[in-house]
Amino acid sequence: MKLFQSNNRLLLYSLFLLGITGLGFIVFPETSFQLINQASIWIRRIFGQFYLILGLVILIYLIIIAISPFGRLKLGKSKPEYSFASWLAMMYSTGMGAGIILRAVQEPVFMMQNPGIEISRSEIIHGLEMTFYHWGFTAWAFYGLFALFIAYLLFIKNKNIQLSHIIPNFNHNFSTKTIDLLVILTTVFGVVSAVALGIRQMEGGLNYITEKTLGFTISFFLCILIFAIALYSSIQGLRTGIRRLSNINIGLTLLLLFYVIFQSDFSLIISNLTETSIALFVDFIPLSLATGDFNFDEIFLSDWTYYYWAFWIAWAPFTGIFIARISKGRSIRQLILGVLIIPSLGSFIWFTSFGTSAIELIESGVVSNFAFNDVFSATFVFLEQYTLGFYAIILAIFLLLGFLITSVDSAIFVLSMFSDLTKINPSSYHKWIWGIVLFIVTLGFLILGKFSQATDILDAVQKLLIVSSLALALLSLVFIVFFTLGLYRNHKAKKE
C-alpha cells in the first residue's frame, strides 16, 4: 500500500512504538508506572531548573522576534483563510480546552490556601497570580514558538511540517527520523494525557450528579464516544468540522463564564483581575526563575510548575502545528502577539471569575474550606451552589466533551500531516490510522491511572509528561538557534 511505502517509515516506527507503549500500559500498568516514576524523579532533580529558564527564554525570544523587522514577514501570499474570531476560537479550543474546566476553581483556591512561600499580599491575589502564571504568557509562548517554526516551514520555505527541516543541510537520515519521531511521540503523549484527564473529570461530574460511582466502564464508553466524534470531525476537515466545533466550544465557554459572573460580585472580579495582572507584571522574572520571594521548594515545583511546563512542551508541537496551519496569510508579528496576548487575557478573565467567586463562597461559609480540594469534582461542587446549578453542571460536562473532541480531532489532523508528508490537507486513511492509535494509547493511559500504584490519573500524567517532554525541551534550544540564523539569511537575501 502507498501508505506504508519507504517514505512512510516514520509512520511505521511511530505506530510500532506507540502500539508497544499502549499495550504495555494495558497489560503491565504497575511495571509501567514504576519505570515512569523513577525516570521522572531523576529528570526533575537534574533538569527542573532548566524547564523554568527555558520558558522565560522562549517568551523573551518571541517578543524580540515580534518587534523586530522579522515580524513583518508574511506567512504565505494569500489573505488569512479564517476570520479573526474563528482563528482565535480554534486556537484557544485546541490550546487550552478541557484544562480550564478542570482547574477553574481548584487551582486558585489551592494556591490561596497553600501558597508554598511567605506572601506579602492578600492570599486571594497570590492564588490568582500563580494561576495566571501557569496558564498565561509562558504557556502560550511554548505554543507560539512551535507555531512560528511550522508556519515558517510551510508558508515561507515551502517545506512540509517536519521540524528537522529547521536545521539546514541536515540530511543524516537516522538523526532526522529520530527528531521527527520524538516530536510525534511527545505530541501523542501530551494529547492522550489531556484527554485522559478530561475523561476522568467527566466521570467525576457524572458521579457527582448521579450520586453514584460509575467507575471505569463509563470512562471506557466516554473514550469511545469522544474518539468516534473526533474522527468524524477530523475527516470533515478544518473548515467544516474543526472550525464549527471550536466556535461552538467558545460560545458555550462564554455562556458558562457569564453565568458565573452574573451571580457573583462583578466589581470584586474586576478589582482582583486588575490587581493580579499588575502583580504578575511586577513579579514575572523572579516568579519565572523561582527565586527571591518566589523561592518555592522542590515538591511544589514538581507538582505544579515543572509539570505545567512539561505539559505545555508536550502540547507545543501539536498545538503549534495546528496554529500555524490556520495562520496562513498573517504576519509573524500577528501570529506571535495573537498567540501570546489574547488567549492569556481570556484565561486571566476566566480564572479570576471562577476563583474569586469560589473564594467568596468559602469566606461566606456557604461551603467548607475543603469543598474544592478534589480536582475532578471542584468545578461541579462550585456550580451547584448557584441558581440552576444542576443545568450549569450539565453545560460544563458538555463543554468538556466539546473541548476533548476538538483536541482529539485537531491531534488526528496534525499527526496525519506528519505522516502524509506531501499534503497540508492529509488523506482520510492517515486520519483513520491516527484515530485508532490515539484511542488505544488513551485507553492504556486510563488503565495506567486506574490500576497502577499512581495515587490517581493526575499523578500518572504529571510523571509521564516530565519524562516524555525532556528531549523536545532540549531540542527546542537547537531549533531556536538554527531558526534565527535562517530568518537572518532570508532577511539579508531579500535586502540584497
Q: What is the per-residue pLDDT across 465-485, written as a single tens digit (0 to 9) for each? A: 788 888 889 999 999 999 998
Cell of 32: 509501567
Q: What is the C-alpha to C-alpha distance for residues 472 and 246, in angstroms, rounded to an integer?
A: 28
- Cα dihedral 487, 489, 492, 496, rounded to 10, equals -140
Q: In this predicted model, which residue has the larger pLDDT, 80 or 236?
A: 80
- Per-residue pLDDT band at 1 (split at 50, 70, 90): very low
In a domain, 496, yes or no: no
Contacts of 382 (CB under 8 A, 6+ apart): 104, 105, 354, 357, 358, 361, 371, 372
- Per-residue pLDDT band at 423 (split at 50, 70, 90): low
Mean pLDDT for the chain? 84
Q: Return the closest-CA partner of residue 234 out of 338, 94, 397, 86.
A: 94
Note the pLDDT of residue 168.
Answer: 72
In a domain, 494, yes or no: no
In a domain, 312, yes or no: yes
Residue 94 has pLDDT above 70, yes or no: no
Q: What is the C-alpha to C-alpha distance for residues 230 and 224, in angstroms, rounded to an integer?
A: 10
Q: What is the C-alpha to C-alpha distance for residues 51 and 135, in angstroms, rounded to an integer?
A: 15
Note the pLDDT of residue 334.
Answer: 92
Count structural domains, the chain.
Answer: 1
In a domain, 233, yes or no: yes
Q: What is the C-alpha to C-alpha distance for residues 343 and 132, in angstroms, rounded to an integer?
A: 12
Q: What CATH number does the domain containing 104 carry? A: 1.20.1740
Task: Give me the mean pLDDT over the 270-289 stretch.
Answer: 95
pLDDT, tens digit (0-9, with 9 covering 90-100), for 140-193: 999 999 999 989 988 888 887 778 788 876 655 667 778 888 888 888 888 888
Q: Is the dihedral of CA 443, 463, 135, 163 positive or negative?
A: negative
Note the pLDDT of residue 4.
Answer: 46
Task: Give me the mean pLDDT over the 454-462 stretch.
Answer: 66
Cell of 107: 487551582
Q: What is the C-alpha to C-alpha distance for residues 136 and 253, in angstroms, rounded to an integer?
A: 18
Cell of 177: 527520523
- Give, as one character, the DSSP assignment of residue 238: I
Q: Return the closest-CA partner of residue 246 out of 88, 395, 140, 82.
A: 88
Residue 357 has pLDDT above 90, yes or no: yes
Chain position carrying cell 455562556: 255
141-174: b or e for each residue (b if 16 or more CB lie within 10 Å)?
A: bbbbbbbbbbbbbbbbeeebbbbbbbbeeeeeee
**Residue 257 CB-density burial (10 A; 0-12 exposed, 13-18 middle, 19+ buried):** middle
Find the distance separating the first CA and the last CA of the chain, reported in whole Å: 47
Say if residues 272 and 129 touch (Cβ distance below 8 Å).
Answer: no
Cell of 129: 497570580
Q: Is the dihedral of CA 224, 229, 232, 234 positive or negative?
A: negative
Cell of 43: 529528570
- Per-residue pLDDT band at 272 (split at 50, 70, 90): very high
- At 331 the three-state DSSP class reads strand
**What is the number of H-type helices and E-type strands within the chain?**
20, 0
Q: What is the C-alpha to C-alpha distance for residues 460 and 203, in angstroms, rounded to an integer?
A: 17
Within its chain, how far is the Cα of 103 from the centroid?
Answer: 13
Q: Return the closest-CA partner of residue 426 out of 325, 309, 307.
A: 325
Length of the chain measured in residues: 496
Residue 213 has pLDDT above 50, yes or no: yes
Say if residues 138 and 288 touch (Cβ distance below 8 Å).
Answer: yes
In a domain, 15, yes or no: yes
Say if residues 25 and 445 touch (Cβ distance below 8 Å).
Answer: yes
> What range defines the domain where residue 167 resides?
2-488
Q: Return the closest-CA partner of residue 92 out of 227, 229, 241, 246.
A: 246
Say if residues 257 and 356 touch (Cβ distance below 8 Å).
Answer: no
Task: Give me the mean pLDDT over the 336-353 stretch.
Answer: 92
Q: What is the C-alpha to C-alpha distance for residues 370 and 391, in angstroms, rounded to an integer?
A: 24
Residue 276 has pLDDT above 90, yes or no: yes
- Per-residue pLDDT band at 5 (split at 50, 70, 90): very low
- Per-residue pLDDT band at 496 (split at 50, 70, 90): low
Q: What is the C-alpha to C-alpha distance for residues 152 and 173, in angstroms, rounded to an integer?
A: 22
Say what angle helices 389-419 and 428-451 make with each other, to 10 degrees.
130
In a domain, 428, yes or no: yes
In a domain, 446, yes or no: yes
pLDDT, tens digit (0-9, with 9 covering 90-100), for 23-70: 887 788 888 888 888 888 888 888 888 999 999 999 999 999 999 988
In a domain, 215, yes or no: yes
Q: Is the dihedral of CA 231, 235, 238, 242 positive or negative?
A: negative
Note the pLDDT of residue 143.
Answer: 93
Of 175-189, 378-392, 394-408, least confident by mean pLDDT is: 175-189
Note the pLDDT of residue 337.
Answer: 92
- Per-residue pLDDT band at 451 (split at 50, 70, 90): low
